[in-house]
Amino acid sequence: MVEVTDRPDTQVPPAEVPDVHPPHAHSWLSRWVFSQDAKYIAIQYSGTAIAIGLVALVLSWLMRLQLGFPDLVSFSPEAYYQFITMHGMIMVVYLLTAIFLGGFGNYLIPLMVGARDMVFPFVNMLSYWIYLLAVLVLVASFFVPGGPTGAGWTLYPPQAILSGTPGGRDAGIILMLLSLILFIIGFTMGGLNYAVTVLQGRTRGMTLMRMPLTIWGIFTATVMALLAFPALFVACVMLLFDRLLGTSFFMPTLVEMGQRLEYGGGSPIVFQHLFWFFGHPEVYIVALPAFGIVSDLISVHARKNIFGYRMMVWAIIGIGALSFVVWAHHMYVSGMHPYFGFFFATTTLIIAVPTAIKVYNWILTLWRGDIHLTLPMLFSIAFIVTFVNGGLTGLFLGNVVVDVPLSDTMFVVAHFHMVMGLAPLMVIFGAIYHWYPKITGRMLNHRMGLIHFWVTFVGAYAIFFPMHYIGLAGVPRRYSELGDTPYLTASVAGLNAFITIAALVVGAVQIMFLFNLLWSARHGQRAGGNPWRAASLEWQTPDTPPRHGNWSDELPVVYRWAYDYSVPGAPEDFIAQNDPWPARPVQP
């Protein structure tokens, strides 16, 4: 184990392999479009994810209008279920997963570990184009007869492929499943790349226990995704066979609208097990990169080393491993054997311990820090509030018997939006404000950033905190209309209207954020190479934005961890990872 210390390791290990220069672009097309440079691929991934995310944002507005103002806006149940399904699927898979791993992963891994590029640049390029194809297939489902699937983002059979569900007997569900299959193929190409680059592409001196937590988060999430997505892959293939070829993997004998169908012998519960064997790790595939990134943001902007680095690394690994044995806590009332409840409630609550350690260590990093309330720091604070809130309501839903009354109600919707919607989004925003100067060489406009922060933080909390109580009152999720249910006071309608207004405002301010991204690229204040005076390697590149190949002729050599801030006696309040201070390096 490496000692955590401010003393650099002056023994620089010898280079094990010769420096390899990544392939050079020969034309405009191979530089900008079919680029094999991870930095361009990262921007392509992020741009596509944000574009499709905008569709999901508009869908959420439409569904909120229906819930908030049922007298003014009335969509058919078909349309409503299509909105919620596509909103959920896009946000979880095509936005959050893609932007954390394809976006931040691609941009940051090579720069932060001191590599020139990903180890397989061509496969990396292919990964993006297959992702784009998956997005296009998804978008196409909006334009086919019957529209996109309205099966809910969980796509539970039998209803997902039956006629009572929008898109069930039309092309909607087929395109959805094909798109997911493509996404997983594309992700696997990218994911192998990220994992191999972290394991094999690190520069001299960059030991695993010196990597920034951002890389630990992205790396662990990638390994998890490589293990979890295959479960979704087979579930999609089997469901596609059930729909197209008449197999009965998930279809028992059933009678639909008085007609007996040709299916028989399959089990709908098996699909749920496969789906959640992917679906629960997926929560952490999104959360772990966020955990890692926010650790680095807090450390840099509080000018203090991350507290308990080694514990943080082990917590990330522990959470990653545990998240594979908790999946059936999504199925407490699914009809699976009730004794599973004892096991899955226990594992689920155990995972709260490493998660709590992470929260403590973020806050203890602020303790006796020198807290600069920059935009990345503001979003990090907002992340902690929303994550702690959403994490704690997870203790309700994970504790099997408490889940029984709350399961399938709006409480669940509020919980997962808080913990895997808002919390990771806060980190994404913070991370964009933090790394935008590295990517473009300019700062994002601060005034617009402040408006963006305050409206998003306060507004989003006002959306999702009260929503828990709607669920507690007994409103089931996925209800396009409430009807006149006697025990629900009329005021639920009032609260719903309030939430809708908040959602419209919070959504609108995201448009301003996107405008800021475009405007500042040209008009933002010039940033210089290291505006935050950060210690990790990506801020030490010879050029900003980093040029092709990232580094000059010599690869950087790393002498210390990424968290040497405010070291007593140091000339500045940070020491870059490739700075051998106070010693001189001893070359082998």
Partner 1 sequence: MVVVVALVSVVVGSVLFHLLSPWWWPPIASNWGYIDATLIITFWITGIVFATVVLFMAYCVWRFRHRPGRTAEFDPENRRLETGLTVVTALGVAAMLAPGLIVWKHFVTVPDDAATVEVFAQQWSWSFRMPGADGRLGTADLRLLDSGNPLGLNPYDRFAQDDVIVEAADLHLPVGRPVKMVLRSVDVLHDFYVPEFRAKMDLVPGMVTYFWFTPTRTGEFEILCAELCGIGHAVMRGYVQIQEEADFQAWLQGQQTFAQLRESSSAGP
User: What whole-number distance in Å separates Cα of residue 265 and Cα of residue 574?
Assistant: 64
By CB under 8 A, how many residues form the interface with partner 1? 117
Q: Is 335 in the site for partner 1 (CB under 8 A)?
A: yes
Q: Is 533 in the site for partner 1 (CB under 8 A)?
A: no
Report the residue from 169, 273, 303, 446 that binds partner 1 according to the rule CB under 8 A. Answer: 303
Report the residue from 10, 30, 247, 346 that binds partner 1 according to the rule CB under 8 A. Answer: 346
Q: Which is nearer to partner 1, 305 or 516 (CB)?
A: 305
Q: Which is nearer to partner 1, 121 or 376 (CB)?
A: 376
Residue 263: CB partners within 8 Å, gap ≥ 6? 158, 242, 246, 248, 251, 252, 253, 254
Sign of the CA dihedral running 375, 381, 383, 389: negative
User: What whole-number distance in Å separates Cα of residue 118 and Cα of residue 194?
Assistant: 7
User: What whole-number distance in Å separates Cα of residue 468 and Cα of residue 101?
Assistant: 30
Q: Is 269 in the site for partner 1 (CB under 8 A)?
A: yes
Identity of residue 282: E
State the minimum distance, in angstroms, from the CB of residue 266 to partner 1.
Answer: 7
Strand partners, 255: 260
User: DSSP for 187-224?
Assistant: HHHHHHHHHHHHHH---TT--GGGS-HHHHHHHHHHHH
Q: Of 420-449, which residues contact partner 1 (CB under 8 A)?
A: none
Q: Is 565 in the site for partner 1 (CB under 8 A)?
A: yes
Q: Which is nearer to partner 1, 129 or 340 (CB)?
A: 340
State the minimum distance, in angstroms, from the CB of residue 406 to partner 1.
Answer: 8
Q: Of 67-96, which residues contact partner 1 (CB under 8 A)?
A: 76-78, 81
Stretch that binds partner 1, among 111-119, 123-131, 299-307, 322-330 (CB under 8 A): 299-307
Q: Which is nearer to partner 1, 180 or 467 (CB)?
A: 467
State the minimum distance, in angstroms, from the CB of residue 470 to partner 1.
Answer: 6
Among 449, 456, 447, residue whose Cα is nearest residue 505: 456
Q: Is 256 in the site for partner 1 (CB under 8 A)?
A: yes
Q: Of 352-411, which residues contact partner 1 (CB under 8 A)?
A: 352-353, 356-357, 359-361, 363-364, 366-373, 378, 381, 384-385, 388-389, 392-393, 395-396, 399-402, 404-409
User: How far separated are the first and last CA of the chain, in Å rounded?
Assistant: 22
User: What whole-number distance in Å separates Cα of residue 455 and Cα of residue 447?
Assistant: 13
Q: Of 484-523, which residues contact partner 1 (CB under 8 A)?
A: 485-487, 489, 491-492, 495
Q: Is 145 in the site for partner 1 (CB under 8 A)?
A: no
Q: Of 164-193, which residues contact partner 1 (CB under 8 A)?
A: 164-166, 168
State the minimum distance, in angstroms, from the CB of residue 480 to partner 1.
Answer: 5
Structure tokens at 214: 């951002």
Report the residue from 122, 142, 342, 515 that binds partner 1 according to the rule CB under 8 A. Answer: 342
Strand partners, 460: none
User: DSSP for 411-469?
Assistant: HHHHHHIIIIIIHHHHHHHHHHHHHHHHHHSBPPPHHHHHHHHHHHHHHHHHHHHHHHH
State the minimum distance, in angstroms, from the CB of residue 28 to partner 1.
Answer: 45
User: What whole-number distance in Å separates Cα of residue 70 and Cα of residue 335?
Assistant: 34
State the minimum distance, in angstroms, from the CB of residue 245 to partner 1.
Answer: 19
Q: Which is nearer to partner 1, 141 or 348 (CB)?
A: 348
Report the residue from 22, 190, 212, 266 that binds partner 1 according to the rule CB under 8 A. Answer: 266
Strand, helix or coil at 266? coil
Structure tokens at 155: 């796509």
Strand partners, 574: 565
Q: Of 193-252, which residues contact partner 1 (CB under 8 A)?
A: 252
Interface pattern 459-488 for partner 1 (x via CB under 8 A): --x---xx--xx-xxx-x-xxxxxx-xxx-
Structure tokens at 324: 């594979």
State the minimum distance, in angstroms, from the CB of residue 426 to partner 1.
Answer: 14
Q: Which is nearer to partner 1, 38 or 460 (CB)?
A: 460
Structure tokens at 361: 């260590």
Q: Is 456 in the site for partner 1 (CB under 8 A)?
A: no
Report the residue from 13, 246, 338, 545 that binds partner 1 according to the rule CB under 8 A. Answer: 338
Largest CA distance in the chain: 83
State the minimum distance, in angstroms, from the CB of residue 579 to partner 1.
Answer: 16
State the minimum distance, in angstroms, from the CB of residue 91 to partner 1.
Answer: 17
Helix intervals (H) in 245-307: 268-301
Stretch that binds partner 1, among 43-51, 96-104, 170-178, 456-464 (CB under 8 A): 456-464
| DSSP structural state of residue 476 | B
User: Is residue 375 within 8 Å of residue 450, measured between CB atoms?
Assistant: yes
Q: Is 155 exposed, middle or buried (0-12, 13-18, 19+ CB in 10 A)?
A: buried
Q: Which is nearer to partner 1, 152 or 529 (CB)?
A: 152
Structure tokens at 561: 């961890």
Angle at 49 between CA 45 and CA 53, to 5 degrees: 175
State the minimum distance, in angstroms, from the CB of residue 504 to partner 1.
Answer: 21
Q: Which is nearer to partner 1, 106 or 355 (CB)?
A: 355
